[in-house]
Amino acid sequence: WEKCINSLRTELNCDIYITGSNAKLLSGELATYLAGRYVEFVIYPFSFSEFIELYNTIQPNTSEADCFKKYLHFGGMPYLAALQYNEAACKQYLQDVYTSVELKDIVRRNNIRDVDMLERILTYITANIGTIFSANVLSKYLKSEGRSMATETIINYVKACTDAFLFYQVKRQDIQGKKLLAINEKYYVADHGIREAVFGGNMKDINLILENIVYLELLRRGYKVSIGKLDTKEIDFICEKQDKKIYIQVTYLLAAEETIQREFGFYNEITDNYPKYVLSLDEFDMSRNGIIHKNIRDFLTDASI
């Protein structure tokens, strides 16, 4: 990395900083420390395609389906390969990463004194990734546990977590009005493997984890992502880059007719001609009425979308 960065500095004749967790600068601090123009490169944990390639160097000839099971559990943090994906070692490493981000990038940088309250907020958001977030609701939840905190303080704590790249905030978009909504956004965790190592429950919350994985993949592919709101209905992801736009619904399995009608039915009132996808772990193609169904593994390995 150091050689690559120094080479780029020389070639471009400009300063280059790496932002993110455990970096010297977080993204929001660039404007403070740098004058003039700069280019920011965001580096995400390994994608599923990258995980397959790496895992097969350790466990050759592992099927794509089995690799996906491992990916659901371990996530995409690169250093896990150096640990040979050993269960105990990987769990300890991911817990240490989480602790380092919490203490170094959140608590110390923001001079947070009430660490217990921060941990409660972290636990709440991590357990509820991909669901509508409200500072007021969280305030009531904390009050029910015998703690109280102003909603403004909660918002500041959550912002500190997103600045540290532990969570990503996703705004909701009114599809009819074509404007972003200022309230009730969603949050996704930077790496689902950290969630499993620290809090557990990834398989129990498989719907949320699959949504998290798809969201991060969309960011890797350069999409600007928002949640679609249409009256009382919601589209999981509206994805836009340049002149390209797609809609995506994510679910675990289309096992019942009710689920099929719900997931495909979300698109009934969207009349534009942009591609519309329903992603699940079903092996059979269930595309209908111009709406494309894809297996989630196939979507993650198809870089053309």
Q: Is 256 found in the same domain as 123?
A: yes
Answer whether 28's CB lies under 8 Å from 35's CB.
Answer: no
Residue 84 φ/ψ region, left for φ over 0, alpha for ψ in the -120 to 50 degree band, beta for the rest: left
Query: Cα 264 from chain centroid?
Result: 23
Average pLDDT over residues 113-129: 93
pLDDT at 26 over 70: no
Of all residues in the chain, what percent carry a pLDDT higher than 70?
A: 84
DSSP structure class, residue 196? H
Average pLDDT over residues 94-117: 93
Asked if residue 229 is part of any domain, the answer here is yes
The pLDDT value recorded for residue 16 is: 55
Q: Is 155 found in the same domain as 20?
A: no
The pLDDT value recorded for residue 128 is: 94
The boundaries of the domain holding residue 26 are: 2-33
The pLDDT value recorded for residue 180 is: 64
pTM metric for this prediction: 0.89
- Which amino acid appears at position 201 of this protein? G
pLDDT at 172 over 60: yes
| Exposure letters 234-255 (e unless 16+ CB within 10 A, then b) | ebbbbbeeeeeebbbbbbbebe
Average pLDDT over residues 167-172: 94
Asked if residue 9 is part of any domain, the answer here is yes
Query: Cα 10 from chain centroid?
Result: 33
The pLDDT value recorded for residue 30 is: 52
How crowded is residue 12: how many other Cβ atoms within 10 Å of its Cβ?
Answer: 10
The pLDDT value recorded for residue 22 is: 45
pLDDT band for position 46 (cuts 50, 70, 90): very high
pLDDT at 39 over 50: yes
Nearest to 101 by CA among 166, 46, 44: 166
Asked if residue 39 is part of any domain, the answer here is no
Q: Is 29 found in the same domain as 151?
A: no
Question: CA distances (Å), 231 to each of 25, 155, 262, in order?
Answer: 41, 26, 15
Q: Is 130 found in the same domain as 11?
A: no
The pLDDT value recorded for residue 184 is: 79
Q: Is 72 found in the same domain as 20?
A: no
Asked if residue 43 is part of any domain, the answer here is no
Average pLDDT over residues 130-141: 89
3-class DSSP state of 184: strand
Q: Is 126 found in the same domain as 13?
A: no
pLDDT at 38 over 70: no
Average pLDDT over residues 47-62: 96
Asked if residue 41 is part of any domain, the answer here is no
pLDDT at 131 over 50: yes
Average pLDDT over residues 79-87: 96
Identify the H or E element spanning 279. Answer: strand 276-280
DSSP E strands: which ranges in 203-268? 224-230, 233-241, 244-250
pLDDT band for position 232 (cuts 50, 70, 90): confident
Q: Is 83 found in the same domain as 11?
A: no
Give me the chain's average pLDDT, please. 88
The CA distance from 26 to 151, in Å, is 24
The CA distance from 27 to 17, in Å, is 9
Asked if residue 42 is part of any domain, the answer here is no
Hey, what are 161's tokens?
A: 């977590």
Asked if residue 29 is part of any domain, the answer here is yes
The pLDDT value recorded for residue 143 is: 87
The CA distance from 172 to 179, in Å, is 9
Q: Is 21 found in the same domain as 117?
A: no
Provide the domain count of the chain.
2
pLDDT at 107 over 80: yes
The CA distance from 262 to 285, in Å, is 17
The pLDDT value recorded for residue 252 is: 97
Asked if residue 19 is part of any domain, the answer here is yes
Q: Is 20 found in the same domain as 103?
A: no
Q: Is 137 found in the same domain as 20?
A: no
The pLDDT value recorded for residue 147 is: 87
Q: Is 98 found in the same domain as 7?
A: no
